[in-house]
Chain A
Amino acid sequence: MIPILASPVTDGIGAVLAPDTLLTIGIGICIGMLVGAFPGVTATMAVALASGFTLTMEPTQGLAMLLTIYVAAQFGDRIPAILINTPGTPASISTTFDGYPLARQGKAGLALTTSAIGSAVGMICGIVILAVAAVPLSAFAMQFGPPEMFALVVFGLTMMVGVSSGRIFKGLAAGAFGLFLATIGRDPITGDQRFTLGILELNGGIPFIPVIIGFFGLAEVINQILTHRKNKGVKPISQMGQWMPDRQLMKRLAKPMGIGAATGSVIGLIPAVGGDIAGIIAWDNAKKASKRKDEFGKGSLEGLTAGDTSSTATLGGSITTTMALGVPGDSVMAVMIGSMMIWGIQPGPGLFNSHPDLIASLVTILLIATVATLILSLLRMKGVIKLLELPDHFLWVVILVFCMVGTYSINNSVFEVGMMLLFGMVGLFMLRFGFPPGPAVLGLILGPLAEANLRRALLTDGWSSIFTSPIALVLLTVAVLAVTVPPLRQLVRRRKEAIVGMKVPTMQP
């Protein structure tokens, strides 16, 4: 058949509307909803596990599966937050503030549906941002040379570190460790062997998918096993009450949804700031703007929808910075970058030039996933309540075996399964001692890019090549500020408190 209206947009949409891709979207929605509904399984963990078996798929199908899991998890995680006061993923922390009190008042059904509607509104705002901002941002980033690219990687790493305010230095150490892992194998410029310890399989470098699965899958499960306590579970609330909101209520919720959408859209564009922080900030903003402030925290539908709209609105910005700049918007996107690189798609400046149909594919995948997940969420899913009562050990077993078999299926390599187990232990150490794994994974993925660009820049014109580039200078300045301002601000505040004779807060007797 002769393609009459062939264009990147129609190509991109057409690739998603193929039956195979629609099927993967459907499977992704089911997995994502389940992942979100089980407390303890994060979207990052699910995407990391799924990357094990999606690597054998076509890139569009694989992307559709991973993105759909991410989208659906953003809806599913509200269920345990509302019914058992436990966030399904960190993005639904703000949902617990008002969701659980609403459920205890017999309004669980209403809380679930308004939360789903708010999440869908947030998601659509995020998709609009992706559609509008991704290509111009990517075109701007096309001007980047080696100094700017190096500065961009440093910017991305420090932004991911900077948001974990209390763990900045451990985050930086984790990032440096990830960058070191990326040096194992061949030098990106001279091709010399480094740190391979004579192991033949390490000549090509450390494979990052086993590391990701080890860090985000195995380490999390082992930590849950180690800290497991009997009879820790909470019985879910089963009285659902009214389900659908009336027109008057929807009118009242328009304002908090608007606040949530605006907050989440802005926060989403800051690399590495996830939906958890956006949800909490929007909840706080909506409380300040509300006429019923006293209801917040005690069962406010306004607070619930503001937080949920905001946390999902970050997703569009997060995908935008990931695709256009190659700097992941959050840890899920860091995992996704790893999968995309294996498919031969290098996120970053130039991505939309080499794959002009990709933006249309991404928008279509996200829209279909959002609408389908909203419909599924509006169905009265009483079966999900039974899932919440499922003992932890079933989930642990499934994740453990998926970690192993999924890793093997990437390259049919037992060595890689061994690497996954090893990095699961490294990830467990990091979890127990407070080193965030996100910067380490980011360092591993972006390490060769950072090293090669820094050395190229230095070989060309020395350090002046970096400090004479306005873009590099701005990015590096923001990066330095991101890691220095929060601790300095705390230090100044403590000094002020000490001067006025206030006791410095401590739990020490």
Chain B
Amino acid sequence: MTETTPPSEQDAVIAAAHHQDEVLVRDLPVRLRELVSVAACIGIGTLILLGSRNITVRGGSELGPTFWPVMLGWGLVLFGVVIVFNNVLRGVRVADIPDRIGVSGLKMFALTALIAVGYLLLWNVLQFWMITFVALVLFTFVLGGRGVKAVLVFPAVVTAVLHFLFIVALRVPL
């Protein structure tokens, strides 16, 4: 347990607030990660430029419906190139490196996604309170809840709150 916020950490936060220099990370995995960002920018930019060709232009004005998207598409391509110089070659701040994804986290995410899609598909098939209660039980169990209170009482209370808020108070046709 941290006794106090370490002075070095405070200095780093204050330095960041004042836009001062920070330590940069330049190892290979970080550079490869940054290449994904570059690919995303250039890829989306290119898709926008290609998609703009399919827009029907009436009147042939150069300031027509394609003007703005084409500008944005080129902008994204340009930012992708700049990120190569700024992030891939120069390195990134320690604060910009996200927490590592764990195997248990991936498993929980995959199961949560499955339950969420199933919940959405059954929304208009089963009664809202019923499907919501089942989904909540499954969500809680998958995300680490154990015991009667967590797996039964908590979903029942949340279902009741949702039913009251959305169906009774806000009259949403669920």
**Contact (Cβ within 8 A) B41 A173:** yes
Report B-chain residues with C-beta under 8 Å of the C-beta of A404. 116, 119-120
**Contact (Cβ within 8 A) A401 B136:** yes
Q: How many angstroms between the C-alpha atoms of A437 and B25 in the bound complex?
A: 23
Which residue from B4, B44, B102, B172 sits with its C-beta under 8 Å from A177?
B44
**Contact (Cβ within 8 A) A183 B23:** no
Any A CB within 8 A of the CB of B170 = yes
Given contacts A401-B162, A412-B172, contact A508 B27 (CB under 8 A): yes
Question: When each residue 48-73 of chain B gets 1 if its CB lies under 8 Å from chain A and 0 otherwise, what string results?
Answer: 10010001111100011101110011
Given contacts A85-B2, A297-B5, A404-B116, contact A393 B143 (CB under 8 A): yes
A98 CB, min distance to chain B CBs, angstroms: 9
**Contact (Cβ within 8 A) B36 A433:** yes
Question: When each residue 432-474 of chain A gets 1 if its CB lies under 8 Å from chain B and 0 otherwise, what string results?
Answer: 1111000000000000000100110011000000000000000
**Contact (Cβ within 8 A) B120 A506:** no
B56 CB, min distance to chain A CBs, angstroms: 6
In terms of DSSP, what is the predominant structure of the interface of chain B? Answer: helix
Chain A residues with CB under 8 Å of chain B are 53, 56, 85, 93, 96-97, 100-101, 104, 165-170, 172-173, 176-177, 179-180, 183, 187, 189-190, 192-195, 222-223, 225-230, 234-235, 277, 280-281, 283-284, 297-299, 391-394, 396-398, 400-401, 404-405, 408-409, 412, 414, 417-418, 421, 429, 431-435, 451, 454-455, 458-459, 486-487, 489-490, 493-494, 505-508
Given contacts A176-B72, A192-B55, A229-B102, contact A507 B144 (CB under 8 A): no
**Contact (Cβ within 8 A) B58 A400:** no
**Contact (Cβ within 8 A) B55 A281:** no
Report B-chain residues with C-beta under 8 Å of the C-beta of A226. 101-102, 105-106, 108-109
Report B-chain residues with C-beta under 8 Å of the C-beta of A176. 72, 75-76, 79
**Contact (Cβ within 8 A) A507 B25:** yes
Which residue from A104, A235, A507 sits with its C-beta under 8 Å from B23?
A507
Any A CB within 8 A of the CB of B124 = yes
30 residue pairs of the A-B complex, CB under 8 angstroms, read A56-B170, A96-B5, A100-B5, A169-B86, A170-B79, A176-B75, A187-B64, A190-B59, A222-B109, A225-B105, A225-B108, A226-B101, A227-B99, A227-B101, A230-B104, A392-B144, A393-B143, A393-B144, A393-B145, A396-B143, A397-B139, A397-B154, A404-B120, A408-B172, A412-B172, A412-B173, A417-B120, A455-B67, A486-B19, A506-B26
B132 CB, min distance to chain A CBs, angstroms: 7
Chain B residues with CB under 8 Å of chain A are 1-5, 7, 10, 13-14, 16-19, 21-27, 33, 36-37, 40-41, 44, 48, 51, 55-59, 63-65, 67-69, 72-73, 75-76, 79-80, 82-83, 86-87, 91-96, 98-102, 104-106, 108-109, 112, 116-117, 119-120, 123-124, 132, 135-136, 139-140, 143-145, 150, 154-155, 158, 162, 165-166, 170-174
B51 CB, min distance to chain A CBs, angstroms: 6
**Contact (Cβ within 8 A) B80 A400:** no
Q: How many angstroms between the C-alpha atoms of A3 and B156 in the bound complex?
A: 48
User: In this complex, what residue of A is CB-closest to B158?
Assistant: A398
Q: How many angstroms between the C-alpha atoms of A47 and B123 in the bound complex?
A: 25
Report B-chain residues with C-beta under 8 Å of the C-beta of A85. 2, 4-5
User: In this complex, what residue of B is CB-closest to A218?
Assistant: B116
Report B-chain residues with C-beta under 8 Å of the C-beta of A281. 17-18
Q: How many angstroms between the C-alpha atoms of A272 and B150 in the bound complex?
A: 40
The 6 closest A-B pairs by CB, nearest first: A393-B143, A227-B99, A173-B79, A187-B65, A226-B105, A280-B17
User: In this complex, what residue of B is CB-closest to A487?
Assistant: B86
Which residue from B22, B44, B116, B132 sits with its C-beta under 8 Å from A166?
B22
**Contact (Cβ within 8 A) B63 A455:** yes
Report B-chain residues with C-beta under 8 Å of the C-beta of A183. 68-69, 72
User: In this complex, what residue of A is CB-closest to B79?
Assistant: A173
Report B-chain residues with C-beta under 8 Å of the C-beta of A299. 4
**Contact (Cβ within 8 A) B23 A506:** yes
A497 CB, min distance to chain B CBs, angstroms: 8
B1 CB, min distance to chain A CBs, angstroms: 6
Report B-chain residues with C-beta under 8 Å of the C-beta of A284. 14, 17-18
Given contacts A227-B102, A397-B136, A507-B24, contact A391 B65 (CB under 8 A): no
Report A-chain residues with C-beta under 8 Å of the C-beta of B72. 176, 179-180, 183
**Contact (Cβ within 8 A) A458 B63:** yes
Given contacts A173-B41, A225-B109, A486-B19, contact A434 B92 (CB under 8 A): yes
Given contacts A170-B83, A172-B79, contact A432 B5 (CB under 8 A): no
**Contact (Cβ within 8 A) B76 A173:** yes
Q: How many angstroms between the C-alpha atoms of A393 and B69 in the bound complex?
A: 42
**Contact (Cβ within 8 A) B26 A405:** no
**Contact (Cβ within 8 A) B36 A173:** no
**Contact (Cβ within 8 A) B140 A408:** no
Q: How many angstroms between the C-alpha atoms of A56 and B1 in the bound complex?
A: 45
B98 CB, min distance to chain A CBs, angstroms: 5
User: In this complex, what residue of B is CB-closest to A296?
Assistant: B10
**Contact (Cβ within 8 A) A400 B112:** yes
**Contact (Cβ within 8 A) A414 B98:** no
User: In this complex, what residue of A is CB-closest to B55?
Assistant: A194
Q: How many angstroms between the C-alpha atoms of A176 and B73 in the bound complex?
A: 8
User: In this complex, what residue of B is CB-closest to A490?
Assistant: B21
B126 CB, min distance to chain A CBs, angstroms: 14
Report B-chain residues with C-beta under 8 Å of the C-beta of A400. 112, 116, 139
Q: How many angstroms between the C-alpha atoms of A193 and B93 in the bound complex?
A: 41
Q: How many angstroms between the C-alpha atoms of A183 and B56 in the bound complex?
A: 14
Most A CB contacts (10 A, CB to CB) among B63, B92, B165 go to B63
Q: How many angstroms between the C-alpha atoms of A506 and B27 in the bound complex?
A: 10
**Contact (Cβ within 8 A) A180 B69:** yes
Which residue from A227, A228, A391, A408 sits with its C-beta under 8 Å from B174?
A408
